[in-house]
Every structure is written in structure tokens, then in C-alpha cells.
Structure 1
Amino acid sequence: MDRIITDLLNYAMDHNINLMITRELSPYTPSAVDTQRRSIVFNANWHNEKQLAFSLAHEIGHILNGDSSIEPLYFTPNKAKLEHGANTLAIKMLIPFYLEDKEKSHIKAYDFMEGFGIPPYLEDVVMEAIRNY
């Protein structure tokens, strides 16, 4: 997981996204993004370690999707339009990490979702992303 997070952090920096990584926040304080400043505060102390890569990819997704908000957006894997778009892009960003070195017969959406802490309501998005990869 550390390699995936490192790759995502490097990806963000390569795309001119400012990062502040902290372990000083509460485990229940979500990561956040200021889309206008292209800045992410990444809570590396998040209570669900499996979701760390997903939350980082989600925040990167807000910026890459061109989402606009005058207030910071917080990691909330819910069904709201902006959040759904960020979740979809995050899943697409994580699929290559899951699929590397896997034989087709060993690819399971459930394993991907479990490994990255992706909520069940995103199963259709995951299935489509795997199919289209």
C-alpha cells in the first residue's frame, strides 16, 4: 500500500497539485482538497488504513475532474454528483495497481473493493472500470 500511496503522491506532484501530508489530524478527520488552489491536505492518520490510497486518489480526482468549490471538499465516499465523479476517477486510478501481475481468472471486483476500502454502492463503477481497463 505504501508504494501505491507514494506513486499517487508523485502523480499529484507531476500534475502541479500541492500536497500537505499529516499524521497530526484525528483519525476521523477526512482528507480535503481546495480545488481552486489545487491543494490537498492528506490525513495519513485516517482510521481506515485500507482507504488511504482511495481517499488520496479521490482528492486528486476532484482536481483532475475540474471540480469547482469555494469551500474545501472533504473525503466522503457518497453518491453526491461531485463525490461520485471523484470516486469514479479514483477507482480508475487504482485499477492498474490491483491488476498488475494478476491473471484474468484471479480478478475479482470484491477483492479490489475490500483491498481499497471502497463502499459497496460503488460496485457497478468498479465492475465497469475493470471491464474497460
Structure 2
Amino acid sequence: MTDLIQFLFDFAFAQGFGIAQISKDEEYRSLADKTRNLIIINTNWKNKAELPFIIGHEIGHLMESDVGLSYYCGNALTSKERHADLYSLNLIFDYATRQYDCFNEPSAFMQAYGIPVRMYDDVVKLFRKHNDLLF
């Protein structure tokens, strides 16, 4: 997980985004502040395995040019949140394939990379698309 987080931080820095790591209550949500091109990550989040996904999610908000503050809410209630979720999923999947991590099953990938359960259908679609490109 440390290598993935470093990859995500390096990616964010390459885009001109800053990152602040804070340790708040485990319910305190991470956020992206487009006015400052800044991602604020609560390293004490209740589900530590989800931290890389959250970082990717917040990067997604800044890459999509979402205005103002965007808080990680843990579900995709709006199209803005859904797009940030998909951005994170694709960024992490690209990282995994560059590492030559091979997963035969979407749920194994999700568990290894802290992808939330709500993303299962999207992971299945991503696996199918990737397999179609290989064969």
C-alpha cells in the first residue's frame, strides 16, 4: 500500500496539486479544494485499506475541475462523486497493471487495493474490457 500511496502522491504532484495529510477523528472526511489545488487526506480514516482509493478519488475531483470543496463521502450519490470514484478506480487499475499484478477475479483485486464494495460492477466491467484488449 505504501508504494501505491507514493505513486498517487507523485501523480498528484506532477499535476501541480498539493497534498496535506492530517490525523483527525476516523469519521472526518478527506477533501479536495480546487481553489487551492489541494488534497487533504485524513490518515486516520476508519478504513485504512481504503486510503489509496480516497487519494485517487480526491485527485479525480481536481482532474475533473470540480469547483470548490469536494468531500469524500464513501458513496456515489452524485455524478460528481461517481466520476471521482471511476477516476480513482482507473488510476489504481493502471498502477496495478504496470506492477504486473495479475488478478483472475475482481474481488481479489478489490481487496488487495482497498476498492470499496460499491465499485464491484465497475471493476467487473474494467476486467472484461482489459481482457478483451489482451485477447
Band the TM-score falls in, shorter-chain normalisation: 0.7 to 0.9
1:9 matched to which residue of 2? 9
1:98 matched to which residue of 2? 96
1:88 matched to which residue of 2? 86
Amino acid at match of 1:121: R
For the 8 Å contact 1:77–1:83, the answer to whether it is kept is no
Runs of 4+ in 1 over 4 A off after TM superposition: none
* Structure 1 length-normalised TM: 0.85
Written as runs of structure 1 = structure 2, the 5 A alignment for 1:35-114 is: 35-68=34-67, 70=68, 72-79=69-76, 80-99=78-97, 100-103=99-102, 106-114=103-111
1:129 and 2:114 matched: no
Amino acid at match of 2:30: S
Shift of 1:101: 2.5
Instruction: Count matched residues.
Output: 128
Alignment partners' CA distance in 2, 1:126 and 1:76: 20
Deviates more, 1:28-37 or 1:5-14: 28-37
Amino acid at match of 2:123: V
% identity of equivalent residues? 25
Shift of 1:124: 1.9
Alignment partners' CA distance in 2, 1:118 and 1:76: 14
Q: Give the superposed CA RMSD.
A: 1.7
Alignment partners' CA distance in 1, 2:12 and 2:90: 15
Alignment partners' CA distance in 2, 1:49 and 1:63: 22
For the 8 Å contact 2:19–2:40, the answer to whether it is kept is yes
Gap change, CA 1:38 and 1:132, over 3 Å in 2: farther
Alignment partners' CA distance in 1, 2:128 and 2:24: 37
